[in-house]
C-alpha cells in the first residue's frame, strides 16, 4: 500500500511540475508579430557580444530574472508637415511662404538600421519618435527653401520633394529611421508680405541714431581742432630752432 501511495505522489509531482514548467515556458515565450521588432537583452551569449539580440518574426524564450525584452513598431508613420512663414531665396527676393506636405517614415527593417533604432529610440513613445522625425524634415525644408526662389519650388514640386527626401534620409538614418516618401501638397506665397531686405527702424531708434551721429560729428570737429593746434605748435618750435 505504501509503495502505491509513493508512486501516486511521485506521479502527481511530475505532472504538476510538468504543467508548471509548461505554463512558465508559455508565459516567458514571446512571439514577434511581422510589424514589430524585438530586442532581448541581459545576457552576453559570448565574449565580445553586445549583450542583446534583435528578432524580427518568430519567437524567443525569455529567461526569467536574467533576460528582458522590448519592442519597436515597424508600422508606417504618416505625418502632416505644416510650415507657415517659411523664407524663400533669403539672399535674393525674400518671400514668406506657407508650405504643406505629407511625409511617410518608418523604423528601418535591416539589421544595422534596427541596431541603431534600438540604441537611439528604445523606450521612446511613438509621439516622441514622430516628433524627432518631423523636426528633422522641417529643418531641411526651411534650409532648402532659403536657397530657392518661390517660383522654382512651385514649378517643380516633385523635384523639390525628391531633394528633401535625399537630404533628410542621411539624418534619419542616424536614428534608425527610413523616409519612404515626401509629397509637397501645397505652397502659397503670402501676398503683401514680402520680407524687406532692410530691417525696419522704429521712431525711437531713428532719434537715437541721429543723436549718435551728432555726437560723432562733434568729436570729429574736436579732433580736427586739436590736429590744427598741434601743427601750429610744431611750426613755432621749428622757427625757434
In the chain, domain spans: 2-73, 77-189
Dist. CA 158–CA 148, nearest whole Å: 14
* List of residues 6+ apart from 156 with CB closer than 8 A: none
- Confidence at residue 196, expressed as pLDDT on a 0 to 100 scale: 41
What residues contact residue 34 under an 8 Å CB cut-off, 6+ apart? 57
pLDDT score for 203: 45
DSSP 3-state helix, strand, coil percentages of the chain (rounded to 5)? 50, 25, 25
CA-closest candidate to residue 177, choices 124, 140, 130: 130
For the chain, the average pLDDT equals 81
Task: Give the mean pLDDT of 174-184.
Answer: 95
135: left (phi over 0), alpha (psi -120 to 50) or beta: alpha
Q: What integer is the mean pLDDT of 39-47?
A: 72
Of 3.30.479.30, 3.30.200.20, 3.40.50.720, 1.10.10.10, the CATH number of 77-189 is 3.30.479.30
212-237 pLDDT, tens digit per residue, is 667 666 666 766 665 666 555 564 55
Least confident of 24-33, 40-49, 230-239: 230-239
Amino acid at each position: 500500500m505504501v509503495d502505491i501511495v509513493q508512486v501516486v505522489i511521485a506521479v502527481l509531482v511530475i505532472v504538476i511540475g510538468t504543467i508548471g514548467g509548461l505554463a512558465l515556458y508559455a508565459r516567458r515565450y514571446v512571439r514577434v508579430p511581422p510589424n514589430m521588432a524585438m530586442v532581448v537583452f541581459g545576457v552576453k551569449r559570448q565574449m565580445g557580444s553586445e549583450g542583446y539580440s534583435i528578432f524580427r518574426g518568430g519567437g524567443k524564450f525569455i529567461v526569467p530574472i536574467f533576460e528582458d525584452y522590448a519592442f519597436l513598431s515597424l508600422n508606417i508613420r504618416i505625418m502632416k508637415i505644416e510650415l507657415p512663414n517659411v523664407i524663400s531665396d533669403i539672399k535674393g527676393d525674400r518671400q514668406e511662404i506657407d508650405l504643406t506636405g505629407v511625409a511617410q517614415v518608418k523604423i528601418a527593417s535591416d539589421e544595422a538600421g534596427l541596431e541603431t533604432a534600438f540604441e537611439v529610440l528604445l523606450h521612446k513613445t511613438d509621439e516622441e519618435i514622430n516628433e524627432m522625425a518631423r523636426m528633422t524634415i522641417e529643418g531641411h525644408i526651411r534650409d532648402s527653401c532659403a536657397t530657392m526662389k518661390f517660383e522654382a519650388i512651385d514649378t517643380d514640386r516633385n523635384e523639390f520633394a525628391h531633394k528633401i527626401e535625399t537630404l533628410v534620409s542621411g539624418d534619419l538614418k542616424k536614428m534608425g529611421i527610413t523616409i519612404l516618401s515626401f509629397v509637397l501638397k501645397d505652397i502659397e506665397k503670402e501676398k503683401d508680405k514680402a520680407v524687406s531686405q532692410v530691417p525696419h527702424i522704429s521712431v525711437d531708434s531713428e532719434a537715437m541714431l541721429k543723436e549718435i551721429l551728432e555726437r560723432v560729428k562733434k568729436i570729429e570737429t574736436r579732433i580736427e581742432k586739436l590736429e590744427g593746434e598741434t601743427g601750429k605748435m610744431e611750426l613755432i618750435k621749428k622757427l625757434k630752432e
